[in-house]
Amino acid sequence: MAEIEKRIETHRIRCLSKLKMFLLAITCAFVSKTLSGSYMNSMLTQIERQFNIPTSLVGFINGSFEIGNLLLIIFVSYFGTKLHRPILIGVGCVVMGLGCFLQSLPHFLMDRYEYESTVSVSGNLSSNSFLCMENGTQIFRPTEDPSDCVKEVKSLMWVYVLVGNIIRGIGETPIMPLGISYIEDFAKSENSPLYIGFVETGAIIGPLIGLLLASFYANVYVDTGSVNTDDLTITPTDTRWVGAWWFGFLICAGVNVLTAVPFFFLPKTLPKEGLKNNEDIIKNEKEEKQSKKVKKEKDGITKDFLPFMKSLLCNPIYMLFILISIVQFNAFVNMFTFMPKYLEQQYGKSSSDAIFLIGIYNLPPICIGYIAGGLIMKKFKITVKQAAHIGCWLSLIEYLLHFLCFLMICDNSSVAGITTTYKGMQQDLYVGNTILADCNRDCNCPTKTWDPVCGNNGVSYMSACLAGCETSVGAGINMVFQNCSCIQTSGNSSAVLGLCDKGHDCSMMLQYFLILSAVGSFIYSLSAIPGYMVLLRCIKPEEKSLGVGLHTFCTRVFAGIPAPIYFGALVDSTCLHWGILKCGESGACRIYDSTNFRYIYLGLPSALRGISYIPAFLILIILKKRRLPGENVSSGTVLIEAKVAGKENECKDMHQNSKVLNDDELKTKL
């Protein structure tokens, strides 16, 4: 007898430690997958500039991750529970690593990056051909030779990034539904929210690391090591700058492969956490054997798929929750995907600074909110109905705070011929080509090449030539242009490379925006775990994995894929000047109308989120009159009730065995 008790105690400790090991491993998997995802999102601007493609195409590349994910999500969510879940998660991590490596491949297959410029990068300034020269011939005009276009369409290398992102999406498929369902199946009901909170915290640590990594490499020139950076005439704040986006993908590939290793050593199933006596453990083992026997007698593992789908589709709370998720995901995918670009264009920050600020201000509050939400659910034993109210009202408070962002604005950059006249007066942004003026009409300047300079009058110009500058001193980024006829100042007129700074007031507006964003992120993340508990507890235990998978599938199809594409197209519509390729074709956008960009970036998500509260209030009304499958009267009976319900559904064709099991469970319950 003592030997049996010792074996049972050892068995309990071993299984408990394995559950904790799985919790640690799945948290690391969430870190690695979100590290890759956040790095990809942060480098979208660099990819756009590297391949000279519009924002809508960048949005499609970003959405391709969801395409790869939805190819398998439903089947992995359902069939994955019948197979070895930890091994499937490990294989997924390896596949993600392969996708990240493929995304970095174009850098090694392409020539060096060449940005459009009127200034000689070689530093040979014996000829001032890039300055204002009356009746001169400009050597930097774009050609219309089709062969140049064919060469330059090495930008089709973005297909590697697209395919790599699809493969990364395929690899990510099993991690969330199988990981969450594994925790739900073998963790205590009251511990489940806390565990999921830890896992979701991993999903915040990953983006924090990814954003810091992206911030660092966005500040490193793409071809560093193979070019002399002292000869560059652009800085990280320039819209032509491309950082070393490829290097971070190699790091992400290595991290994903390493994360996969622990999952190959974890068991397929575990006893339910918290079993305290011998009868529970023996009965748990009996049920596992009985369950295996029943499964073998079934025609196949697909037998319950259609009934489960029907049950989920007829569940009003579940379907309304999916509708809320789709609408809100459309809003948040757009906001997070294009937030670095928004900070660049609205507040004049570099990509590196924008990514760093997002990581510092937004992710720590989200991390704290996730943990706090899980602890509150555990400590106060929040019911499903209470969780629904907490999630709804906290989200609504954050939504109302979001409208304050409309007050934190900066004016458009003053660029002569685009946003202002050459006299420094504001002009209609869409009046057509007013690039040339009397002061530079005879300079024979190109009107499409973007190589901005900042005059000492506080106005920027598209190039030194268009500023009417006749001489230059210095080399590289320190070059100074003088005798500029279009710059009207009392003293000597001069200009330096780059756009003019937006000023101190704009920097203060950025601080207010980031503080408000941090507060909003904390409040919304505080409501995330209670909201997620509503999703998990409004469906039957045996449908949980499929329900999470179907929810993920719908949000990917109707939000993750289309949102970046249509939002990117709307952002493209605010472009004021497109970059120019050597063959004369349009490249990436160089400057946006920041006012219209702001209306789209802040206004569209606000409208979408406002619509999502209609089904949210309907859920609160339905919950008043409905008892959910996951709702328990007390934490001590939830395990027994779940087992009874599971056996009733599972053993209809084995009446006698089912009856014996139910009698045993009722005795244990009493």
Kindly state the average pLDDT of the residues 530-534.
Answer: 82
Does residue 521 share a domain with residue 373? yes
What is the tens place of the pLDDT at every residue in 225-281?
888 888 888 888 888 899 999 999 999 999 999 999 998 888 887 777 666 544 444
In 3-state terms the chain splits into helix, strand, coil percentages (rounded to 5) of 65, 5, 30
The answer to whether the beta carbons of residues 168 and 65 sit under 8 Å apart is yes
**pLDDT value at position 540?**
82
Q: Does the pLDDT at position 520 exceed 50?
A: yes
Residue 286 lies in a domain: no
Q: Which of 67, 96, 30, 97 is nearest to 564 (CA)?
A: 67
What would the pLDDT profile of 397-431 be if each residue is shown by its tens digit?
A: 999 999 999 999 898 888 888 888 887 666 665 55
Task: Give the pLDDT confidence score for residue 163 in this predicted structure.
Answer: 95
Same domain for 556 and 467, yes or no, is no
Structure-block tokens of residue 292: 């295996």
Domain that holds residue 11: 1-112+154-271
Residue 605 pLDDT > 90: yes
Q: What is the pLDDT of residue 393?
A: 93
Does some domain include residue 510? yes
Residue 531 reports pLDDT greater than 60: yes
Q: What is the mean pLDDT of residues 503-528?
A: 92
Mean pLDDT over the full length of the chain: 79
Q: With left for phi above 0 and alpha for psi between -120 and 50, is residue 503 left, alpha or beta?
A: left
Reported as a single tens digit per residue, the pLDDT across 447-461 is 888 889 998 888 889
**Domain-ending residue, one of 482, 501, 520:** 501
**Domain end residue (candidates: 472, 501, 530):** 501
Same domain, 81 and 229: yes
Between CA 272 and CA 188 the distance in angstroms is 7
Domain membership flag for residue 57:
yes
Hey, what long-range contacts does 467-471 have (CB within 8 A, 24 or more apart)?
Answer: 467/132, 467/416, 467/440, 467/495, 468/132, 468/439, 468/440, 468/443, 469/131, 469/132, 469/494, 469/495, 470/128, 470/131, 470/132, 470/133, 471/128, 471/131
Same structural domain, 388 and 404: yes
Count of beta carbons in the 10 Å neighbourhood of residue 1 = 6
* Structure confidence at residue 194 (pLDDT): 79
Question: Residue 206: how many CA atoms within 13 Å on its side-chain side?
Answer: 27
Instruction: Say whether pLDDT at 491 is over 90.
Output: no
Domain identity same for 82 and 176? yes
402 and 518 within one domain = yes
Same domain, 14 and 98: yes
- Alpha-carbon distance of 349 to 410, in angstroms, equals 12
Which of residues 214, 244, 271 is at a domain's end? 271
Instruction: Give the containing element (helix H, strand E) for 580.
Output: strand 575-580
| Confidence bin at 293 (pLDDT 50/70/90) | very low
**Angle separating helix axes 245-260 and 85-109, nearest 10 degrees:** 160
As a whole number, mean pLDDT of residues 6-31 equals 71
Least confident of 149-153, 234-238, 369-373: 149-153
Same domain? For 490 and 537 the reply is no
- Average pLDDT in the 598-608 region? 94
Amino acid at 579: G
Residue 652 domain flag: no
Take residue 631 and report the two structure tokens written for it.
């709702």
Residue 583's CATH number: 1.20.1250.20
Distance CA 539, CA 529 (A): 16
- C-alpha of 55 from chain center: 16
Residue 541 covered by a domain: yes
For residues 15 and 93, state if they share a domain.
Answer: yes
| Judgement on whether residues 577 and 474 belong to the same structural domain of the protein | no
Does residue 296 lie in a domain region?
A: no
What domain count does the chain have?
3
Beginning with the edge strand found earlier in the chain, give each strand of the sheet holding 471-473 in spatial order. 460-461, 453-455, 494-497, 480-482, 471-473
Q: Which residues contact 557 (CB under 8 A, 6 or more apart)?
A: 66, 70
Per the domain annotation, does 283 fall within a domain? Answer: no
- 518/530 same-domain check: yes
Please check whether residue 665 lies inside any domain of the structure: no
Angle in degrees, 0-180, between the axes of helices 245-260 and 2-42, rounded to the nearest 10? 170
The total of other beta-carbon atoms located within 10 Å of residue 101's CB is: 19
- 397, 250 Cβ separation under 8 angstroms: no
**pLDDT of res. 640:** 36
Please tell me the distance from the alpha carbon of residue 585 to that of residue 98, in angstroms, as a whole number: 34
Q: Examine the domain organization and report whether 378 and 449 are in the same domain.
A: no
User: pTM higher than 0.85, yes or no?
Assistant: no
CA–CA dist 22, 28 (Å, integer): 10
